[in-house]
Amino acid sequence: MKPLYPLTFKPQPKSRIWGGHKLRTLFDKPFSAAEKIGESWELSAVQRNLSIVANGFLKGNTIEELIEVYLGELVGDRIYERYGVEFPILVKLIDAAETLSVQVHPDDATALERHNAYGKTEMWYVLQADKGAGLYVGFNRHLSPAELYERVQRNTLTDALNFVAVQPGDMFFIAPGTIHAIGQGIVLAEIQQTSDITYRVYDWGREHNPATARDMHLDLAIDVIDYSKKTTAKTPYHLRPNTPVPLARSSCFITDLLELDRPMARNLADNDSFIIYVCLDGCATLRYASGNHILPKGQTILVPAAIADINIIPEPAVRLLETYL
């Protein structure tokens, strides 16, 4: 077989009632100006939403087809043993022109029991935020299930939500069970488990309008929510140029921030894992044994586990999210 190389994928635009046009204007995504695009699925193994390779001789193949052929060479032997042909990470860019529903995600055990699927652990990295924009993460007081139910019925739930003003560069780790909503005027990158299970609890009145109503899942959400007061929401980190900065550490994924103005050599062969790079700003050339790839702002690339060494050359500066298992 021909050797593997860093892979890019066709972005999948998702029309959402709360979406906007910033993914097209900020990242030059080839999306229709007539549609409100809320999400661009950059790398996905969610069934019926499988990512398709956009570059090289594997162009046109799905991520699942690649794993079926290349196995551990693509994802890493230990990861293939754990996940099989299902790629474990979903990467999105999100444009919230309006506030998203208040929602929660189940953990792995609950998702397996109810949906035969993985739960949803996720992280957000804020890329752009309008003045006054913020996120809702957890409760600002301890609640009981009964009070939650009552507040939803009386449209007072937001009084108990923890609102956090945001600015570009803020990072949030959203564990299963954490009630949350992305506020309007925010663009962010999301790294999450391969899962599309969301329990909507409250939708800002849209659920009562036939033109905007979507399925609600309060009955499913009530026993998976963490009702404790959220004392911290943002994940603090200290930016260090030209050094991998830890953002998220979990059994589901590891994500670092790389802000570079000089070349950096990366060798993660001992991890026996693929690497995903999301270019948040600037541009870089990824150089590996058999070639190189230019990585512009807004593009996501998958570096196979079989590529032991890669050099990241900023052109002249670049900011990346680096994710692996």
pLDDT tens-place string over residues 31-58: 999 999 999 999 999 999 999 999 999 9
Q: Is the pLDDT of residue 284 over 90?
A: yes
pLDDT tens-place string over residues 72-86: 999 999 999 999 999
308 confidence band (pLDDT: 50, 70, 90): confident
Task: Identify the structural domains of the chain with CATH numbers, from first to last.
Answer: 7-221 (2.60.120.10), 245-324 (2.60.120.10)
pLDDT tens-place string over residues 251-279: 999 999 999 999 999 987 788 999 999 99
pLDDT tens-place string over residues 167-183: 999 999 999 999 999 99
Give burial (CB, 10 Å; 0-12/13-18/19+) of 132: exposed
What is the model's pLDDT at position 269?
78
Residue 48 among the catalytic residues: no
Tell me the three state secondary structure of residue 186.
Answer: strand
What is the model's pLDDT at position 62?
98
State the average pLDDT over residues 133-148: 97
231 confidence band (pLDDT: 50, 70, 90): confident
pLDDT tens-place string over residues 183-219: 999 999 999 999 999 999 999 999 988 889 999 999 9
| Residue 277: closest CA among 319, 246, 309 | 319
CA gap 222, 61 in Å, rounded: 40
What is the model's pLDDT at position 270?
82
CA 322 centroid distance within chain: 12
- Cβ atoms 167, 94 nearer than 8 A: no
Give burial (CB, 10 Å; 0-12/13-18/19+) of 209: exposed
- Which of 200, 214, 240, 249 is the catalytic position? 200
pLDDT tens-place string over residues 160-170: 999 999 999 99
Higher pLDDT, 123 or 3: 123
CA gap 47, 67 in Å, rounded: 14
- Cβ atoms 161, 69 nearer than 8 A: no
